[in-house]
Structure 1
Amino acid sequence: MICNQDVAKEVVLELSTDAQLTQMVSDLKGFGMIDVVRNPCKIKTDAWEQQRAQLNVPMTAARDIDQTELELIRKISFGVDEYIKDCVIVNDGRMVFANSNRSQVLVYTPEGQLSKSIHVDESPFGLAVINSDTVAVTCRKHDTINIVNIDDCVVKQKIKVGKPLNGLSHHDGKLYVLASLSGIMEFDLTGNLIRTIQVDVPDDEGYLSSYKDTFCYTCFNEFIACCDYNGREIWRLDIADSGVAVDNYGNYFCANYGSNTLQIVSADGRRKKEFQTLAEYTGIIYIEGVFFNKNCNTLLVAYNSLTAMLYRVI
């Protein structure tokens, strides 16, 4: 039995003092005097105070655009009949793609293997992450937003918009959709239209991204623009017209469909950098969707040439 082993038995320490030591101590009047001396503090606290401030008060750092680089993690391949329009990454690392040709939402494992194909309304286009098992997708043929559970492989809800739809973004419990010739339409997750933000949206495809109190959107063959939540334009450039995604600092990764270029633009629109990607040397052309994973600092880029690339942003 374990209780009979020495390691399980109670140990009691007993102290016996020498008789001569006891007699000597009893004759003492005291052991000495204790004086309290207070000297000025000489500890350097600058570094500690700075560290404490960083721990208690989150600071927003700026990404050095000039030093930003992309490192290829993996390449994802699609079937010959698939036409990918947009892409997102959910919290567990699964990648989700809008397959316009087959009216499907495709779910891939973090390792890049096809896991599920989910049927949605015709011509799916823009994607947005709602939570770890739910995405939203705009479907251009029916002017609807489909809310899709990617675990159960079902469309849980359809929001009828009634206007030509493009890019989609989810922020703070709201869905924002880029509607041709209308603006940015704001919905709650039950499908109620809250408002329409008046911005210049031509009658063609475009993508949408949101960050705090700003939107950034593109219009095919036209421009990329940034505006506030009331629609007031902050800046506009002609360098991009396809996928757009915001990083943790308000900078935007954006693509130009015709020139097949990928760039990063600063939050104020004043600085930009063009990346040299592997696609340039392998014949992979026409960038569609772009998604930045804020949790892992990775960038997913979908091309309509049956390929997507997952990059680490460094």
Structure 2
Amino acid sequence: MVLNENTTTTEDSFTQAQTPVKYNLPVSVALRLKFNIKKTANENLYISSCIKTGNTLVFTEQINDRLIIYNSDGTDIYHIPLSYTPGYITEIDSNTVAVSYGYHRIVLIINISTRSVTSTINTSRHCYGISYNDNNLYVVIERSIIDVMDLTGKVIHTIPVPTDDINDITVDRDRLVCIDDTSIYCCSLDGKVMWKFKNDEFQDLTSVTTDDEGNVYVTDVKKDIVVVVSDDGRHHRELLTQSDGLDKPWGIYFDKKENILLVCNDCDAFLFDVKKR
């Protein structure tokens, strides 16, 4: 799919980062693979989050309380049953993930190779979006703060967030990107807002990821789209829509090594090759 070159800048709806950066939005995406995760017509699934680690795809599935593991060619490997309903997921290493469990106030560290929970971290309050960076977990607590903790659960420090309704977060390099239902916030690692992106067209943002150049990708579950925003917050595009097969997309993950974007509906998964300028 070739993207429309006529992008829109929303000068009044974001705070510009102090240091200008080049305009480097992706210009095209190409579908590599689409597959249905549902095994039978009567099976009900709800995929809420996803990651790609190497050639392995990991999905959190909420109706049946489990992780679903696939090969990147779309073949099923196995499921990992869980005692709680999983929320958001982040990669720690090629064999290990961390999963937040909202109202249960815990984060589980899970080895996806041995299919075992290796440790349980208790959080102070309900936990939501989660990201791993530089040996630390960044966990959204009660949608209103971010606790930075080591893998034992020791809280190193707490980061304030610009709104009390944060859903998801991703941390990369020296930036923290978080979203609420309508806005994207790019912050320094101490919580200072570098820029904010808001557009009245987007009202139900659900998950966020970034590529290796800092561009931000978000799913909008109500509009059935993926939006990409440039790394300075100045430009945006609807990268994927219903015409690409999206139907209430929730999970999203960018594989920076292979320039592959993973997106999932409640029971479908898509792998897109992202081509840069």
What TM-score bracket applies, with the shorter chain setting the length?
0.7 to 0.9
2:186 is aligned to 226
CA distance in 2, matches of 1:122, 1:236: 34
Cα deviation for residue 76 of structure 1 reads 2.5
Partner amino acid, structure 1, of 2:129: G
Q: Percent identity?
A: 27
Bigger helix fraction: 1
In the alignment, does 2:203 pair up with 1:244? Answer: no
The alignment's C-alpha RMSD in Å is 1.8
2:30 is aligned to 71
CA distance in 1, matches of 2:115, 2:52: 16
Contact 1:127–1:137 at 8 Å: present in 2 too?
Answer: yes
In the alignment, does 2:126 pair up with 1:167? Answer: no
Contact 1:181–1:200 at 8 Å: present in 2 too?
Answer: no
In the alignment, does 2:79 pair up with 1:117? Answer: yes
1:103 is aligned to 65
Moved over 2 A (4+): 61-64, 200-203, 237-240, 279-282
CA distance in 1, matches of 2:23, 2:70: 29
Cα deviation for residue 269 of structure 1 reads 0.4
Contact 1:165–1:178 at 8 Å: present in 2 too?
Answer: yes
CA distance in 2, matches of 1:281, 1:68: 16
Partner amino acid, structure 2, of 1:86: S
Contact 2:148–2:156 at 8 Å: present in 1 too?
Answer: yes
SS of the aligned residue for 2:60 comes to strand
1:130-156 CA-partner distances (Å, limit 9, x unpaired): 111111110123111110100100011
Q: How many residues align?
A: 247
Alpha-carbon spacing, 1:111–1:270, altered in 2? closer, same or farther (3 Å): same
In the alignment, does 2:60 pair up with 1:90? Answer: no
| Bigger relative contact order, structure 1 or 2 (CA pairs below 8 A, ≥6 apart) | 2
In the alignment, does 2:236 pair up with 1:272? Answer: yes
Alpha-carbon spacing, 1:118–1:261, altered in 2? closer, same or farther (3 Å): same
Contact 1:242–1:256 at 8 Å: present in 2 too?
Answer: yes
1:311 is aligned to 272
Within a 5 Å distance, the mapping from 1:146-157 to structure 2 comes to: 146-157=108-119
1:112-171 CA-partner distances (Å, limit 9, x unpaired): 122111123422111111111111110123111110100100011110003111111110
Contact 1:94–1:107 at 8 Å: present in 2 too?
Answer: yes
TM normalised by structure 2 equals: 0.84
Cα deviation for residue 180 of structure 1 reads 2.3
TM normalised by structure 1 equals: 0.74
1:5-34 CA-partner distances (Å, limit 9, x unpaired): xxxxxxxxxxxxxxxxxxxxxxxxxxxxxx
CA distance in 1, matches of 2:270, 2:251: 11
In the alignment, structure 1 segments of 5+ residues that lack a partner are 1-60
Bigger strand fraction: 2
Within a 5 Å distance, the mapping from 1:1-314 to structure 2 comes to: 64-65=24-25, 67-79=26-38, 80-91=43-54, 93-203=55-165, 206-220=167-181, 222-239=182-199, 241-277=205-241, 279-280=242-243, 282=245, 284-304=246-266, 306-314=267-275
CA distance in 2, matches of 1:275, 1:246: 14
Deviates most, 261-270 or 145-154: 261-270
Partner amino acid, structure 2, of 1:275: L
In the alignment, structure 2 segments of 5+ residues that lack a partner are 1-20
